[in-house]
Chain A
């Protein structure tokens, strides 16, 4: 039998390859040290909600504003804004998104991935999907637990639609921030610092400034979709609320889709073209 008779298996397609990388990366990502950080970040709201429930069940109002007891649904709205939309989603996007390629470079394992007969872009796509599954499976159940702990059952029918919207918005936020920071991680040398500056420096500042700068942030479009009233918890929030110009839901969704697809494409393109030099 000559060598020409040996039929080599065809290399997998982009999505087939991405699926294989996803399967490999998902478990790795889920049980990494970073997950401990994620569990702490996501466990915070659940713990707060549990304390709220215990205090309320003792017959004491857990939260009062100007002497008026704050209803559970309002407390949940504040938690979605302050803990999830403003902190958890961007921070997970930064820590996981920037690490998608950076970890492989740091561990010097990127060579093994790139020598496989699969498109390089599929490596990033598979890892991105693993990130999305991993973070969604931790963040979204935590939102659900927080909701049922904070909101009394009698208020569920009136508020349930908003929690379904919250789940969708947080999933979309994780996807967009993940794509953005996957690009940052693939492109820059110290991606985590740049990511933190973008999420907690640039975005906060741009939202507080009058003018069009806010249009260059993800938060501007993501926050436009949140169904709860924006809390005024500090000077920065008050200024942001003052200059807030909320785009319509369709405009916000369209821009978030553009960011998601655009940054994901840019990230895949960068990984395909860039020569990663491993430090010895």
Chain B
């Protein structure tokens, strides 16, 4: 064997060995988190690994969107929002940048003890919020150097808490979930190591609001009737993502447990879309939405995309004065 051939063989073996070793280590030790920039917002670091669903909203982008500005003009009054701002000093539109919400599974499988967690990033007046909490009987405690406000309402099963996890970020939820968030960030054992969930999050980077979760966990929480749950083909994961600007574009993706279940779901959705098209025949606004529905996906993935164009909101705005003068019965 000439040296040229030897080098070639060594290079080829080197590429194979490096690839196989990297893949194997990544599969066994969860290296993707260490070596790659994890998908999704940085606040996922606060979400414990046992999250069954994660949602995200870029509040600033949504609030600044053309669509939001239009909807704002249609809003009747802002009394509740103003009251909230007066008490907490937080203006939701101005002071909140992003929100990450998660549903954490209970300590025992199958138990109905899911814990909600919300991580909010923005600008907060800590003193004012603490003062307000004390007024309502909340206790202040310290956990791992993080100041926490805990409160148990009359008849509440869980103690709710708010933790100032870092400057400009706070965590809300059950006290256990907030402590879990602090632990998750410190230990690095967070949702970023949940490869199945993060695989779906990785596909949603361009959206300014999304939710990803395990279907069985969410179906139970959503209170879907047993009959409907039985009829929906076996799904393991789902994701829904939307992008708001002038209009709304969104996709819903579901991962079935096998190819057959995915084919059944695609067939079912095809039927639903066809029925919706029939129903929307003489309603131009609905027709635009239904026509934008696109069914896709392959293998175990089922995907539905939709788009609500800005023109549709123009039509809604134009309808508003007419609707005001009419009784509900006239609209039918």
Residues of A near any B CB (own CB < 8 A): 23, 26-27, 30-31, 59, 61, 65-69, 71, 73-74, 77, 137-138, 140-141, 144-145, 147-148, 152-158, 160-161, 163-164, 167, 228-229, 231
Of B32, B259, B305, B307, the residue contacting A153 (CB under 8 A) is B32
Of A30, A65, A161, A163, the residue contacting B8 (CB under 8 A) is A30
B20 touches A164 (CB 8 A): yes
With A67-B296, A141-B16, A160-B27 given, is the CB distance from A154 to B4 under 8 Å?
A: no
A137 touches B12 (CB 8 A): yes
Report if B23 contacts A (CB, 8 A). yes
Tell me the minimal C-beta distance from A233 to chain B in angstroms.
Answer: 11
List of A residues within 8 angstroms of B301 by Cβ: 74
Complex Cα–Cα for A148 and B203 (A): 17
Q: List 28 A-B contacts (CB under 8 A).
A: A27-B5, A30-B5, A31-B4, A66-B295, A66-B296, A66-B305, A68-B251, A68-B296, A69-B203, A73-B199, A140-B16, A141-B12, A141-B15, A144-B16, A145-B15, A148-B22, A153-B36, A154-B32, A154-B202, A155-B199, A155-B202, A156-B22, A156-B23, A157-B26, A157-B32, A160-B23, A161-B27, A229-B299
Complex Cα–Cα for A140 and B199 (A): 25
List of A residues within 8 angstroms of B298 by Cβ: 65, 74, 229, 231
With A26-B5, A229-B259 given, is the CB distance from A154 to B39 under 8 Å?
A: yes
Select the residue from B33, B35, B196, B202 with max chain A CB neighbours within 10 A: B202
B8 touches A156 (CB 8 A): no
Q: From residue 95 to 152 of chain B, which have CB atoms closer than 8 A to chain A?
A: none
Residues of B near any A CB (own CB < 8 A): 1-2, 4-5, 8-9, 11-13, 15-16, 19-20, 22-24, 26-27, 30-33, 35-36, 38-39, 195-196, 198-199, 202-203, 205-206, 251, 253, 259, 294-301, 303, 305, 307
Of A67, A73, A156, A164, the residue contacting B32 (CB under 8 A) is A156
Of B2, B27, B305, B307, the residue contacting A156 (CB under 8 A) is B27
Q: Which residue of A lies closest to B30 (CB)?
A: A157
Tell me the minimal C-beta distance from A76 to chain B in angstroms.
Answer: 12
Tell me the minimal C-beta distance from B90 to chain A in angstroms.
Answer: 32
List of B residues within 8 angstroms of A156 by Cβ: 22-23, 26-27, 32
Q: Is the interface of B mostly helix, strand, loop or mixed?
A: helix
Complex Cα–Cα for A160 and B251 (A): 27
A160 touches B24 (CB 8 A): yes
Q: Which residue of B lies closest to A142 (CB)?
A: B15
Q: Which residue of B lies closest to A144 (CB)?
A: B19
Q: Besides the contacts A68-B251, A69-B206, A157-B195, what 8 more A-B pairs have beta carbons closer than 8 Å?
A: A26-B5, A59-B206, A68-B297, A145-B15, A148-B19, A155-B199, A158-B196, A231-B298
Complex Cα–Cα for A59 and B206 (A): 8
B2 touches A27 (CB 8 A): yes
Of B9, B196, B206, the residue contacting A137 (CB under 8 A) is B9
